[in-house]
Structure 1
């Protein structure tokens, strides 16, 4: 059972007096508290520290935590260039990189980014899957790649990742097509379904697709991305979440929780809710802390650390066999 935290790299999560250089210390503190991974997100919605730059800064400053993206949007970058960058971060971290990827969403969460990147919106999922296949080919020493969209010849030797074959690549998304693609070709699944029942049914779909593709269900790590606010009770937590959702997404918390996993309340209430996701099969939880300045983020981090032993105990009690499709 791994519990990680998303670093507050967006300026909307900083107060006027906050120094973004404190993010490296924030990551070190999370590692000392017992979190097993540090994740960063990737977006053009608001100004933020670029994802791979942040991970490169964390690599020499941390010792054992996994370093991940939640989620990287490859279409924002040239595919060969990002293969080199990811290999470099994996090398600098001693093989601790995890790359969760996504293709973006309609509306302001996706299509405008494609325009800025000079990449067509159409066939974006084929482009994403081909980009990942290209990375893996280049990490394995290939000098050419011929896909439906991406075609390269004469690629010069590239930096080799720390691990043979490169870092694991996970997929975010919970549509039927995303579940099938995850099971068929990705190393992990990182969705944020609003209800644990949705998570359970989605994981069954991923595992069924893995079996159909001749893979073992253990080949796909079951992750979960969830926004968390620990407060005195659910009511006060929702008020803080509403302020957070308005500042970061420009929407009310009621709208956010219809599309994403959002949990609030006391430590006990948050644990009870997350226990349901663990019972549904989640084994790699990435927690996004709902706070709007770095001191508050640090306070939420320390409170969230109280969840770690309890969630691990729940995973041990659940003992869901990875080979089960039920």
Structure 2
């Protein structure tokens, strides 16, 4: 696939997406097929609130079975893991994949997908974004250390950590941030290597990316220091109406939301290939260069079918 516009797909690691009666080991075959179809990346999302294959376990299983495809988290919740242990695990996956790991992270948001995760992890909800930034700083510090390392932050304080596993790439994998609040945009421009939001409209994406690039410039970073990506739910169907009907069930099973509520907060597109391609191209025109597609179906058979259909529409998105 073209280097300028990259396409990725989320592995359906939640039981609600692979469906009852399916052997979850087939998810590895899904990843291998995605690479064979030319996808640039394969992603796993992260939570404790539903039955699923754990995200980093999934990527570790896929790493030796693939050769080229980028492996990513969309998005990883560092709050769910002890920070030094997480640095070791991520460096190990980067090694096993030959330097193909990209880490998109998030701090959660109010509601069922946010604060309950902090309660389960026994970590304070307050100042979660500052804690996230500090965790990323710790990881980068450990990945660059050539011996025992100390780290003294506001939340995390360690003396003489024994040398940890070094990742495949010096300095470690690229780290992206999800989120589109003004504070998230500023932090992305200053501190992160990529941006993975899911704004409902392309114009929102364009505005956010402009702010990120200005913040990068103000922080003496290159204007293109941040990879502009997009997280989007996709379903190819015979018609927009039938696609939306299918996504209604997906939204309720996956997010606990009817479609009309989900599409107010997240990028969602369904319909014939030309319609889906035109909608995705709107985000490309707004600046997105790496599209991470979450397939909006609820069984592995239809996930595989959609994997093929989305691959077929990629040339329509790239068409000038």
Q: TM-score, normalised by structure 2?
A: 0.97
Distance 1:111 1:60 in 2: 35
Asked if the contact 1:7/1:23 (under 8 Å) is kept, the reply is yes
Q: Work out the number of aligned pairs and report it.
A: 314
What corresponds to 1:321 in structure 2? none
Q: Does 1:299 align with 2:289?
A: no
Aligned equivalent of 1:196: 202
| Partner-residue secondary structure (3-state), 1:130 | helix
* Counterpart selection for 2:98 from 94, 97, 104: 94
Q: What secondary structure is seen at the aligned counterpart in 2 of 1:306?
A: helix
Find 2:294's aligned residue among 276, 288, 299: 288
Whole-Å separation in 1 of the counterparts to 2:271 and 2:318: 20
* 1:16 pairs with 2:20: yes
How many Å separate the matches in 2 of 1:93 and 1:193?
A: 30
User: What does residue 166 of structure 1 align with?
Assistant: 172
Provide the secondary structure at the position in 1 that maps to 2:170: coil
1:45 Cα deviation after fit: 2.7
User: Is the aligned partner of 1:279 residue 2:292?
Assistant: no
Shift of 1:222: 0.2
Aligned to 1:176: 182
- RMSD between aligned alpha carbons? 0.8
Within 1, Cα distance between the matches of 2:316 and 2:163? 47
Q: Are 1:46 and 2:53 counterparts?
A: no
1:57 aligns to 2:61 (yes or no): yes
Q: What secondary structure is seen at the aligned counterpart in 2 of 1:119? A: coil
Q: Which runs of 5+ in 2 are unaligned?
A: none
Between the aligned partners of 1:77 and 1:146, the Cα distance in structure 2 is: 19
Could you tell me which of 233, 256, 259 is aligned with 1:253?
259
Task: Report the Cα offset of residue 310 of structure 1.
Answer: 2.4
1:15 shift after superposition: 2.2
Aligned-partner Cα distance in 2 for 1:15–1:222: 32
Corresponding residue number in structure 1 for 2:11: 7
| Cα-to-partner distance string for 1:214-249 (whole Å, 9 max, x where unaligned) | 000221000000000110011000000001111111
Correspondence for 2:121:
117
Do the aligned partners of 1:190 and 1:222 also contact (CA within 8 Å) in 2?
Answer: yes
Q: Distance in 2 between matches of 1:44 and 1:195?
A: 29
Residue 111 of structure 2 is aligned with which of 107, 113, 129?
A: 107
Q: Secondary structure at the match of 2:90?
A: helix
Determine if contact 2:106/2:179 at 8 Å carries over to the other structure: yes
Q: Structure 1 stretches of 5 or more lacking a match?
A: 318-326
Q: 2: CA distance between counterparts of 1:254 and 1:227?
A: 14
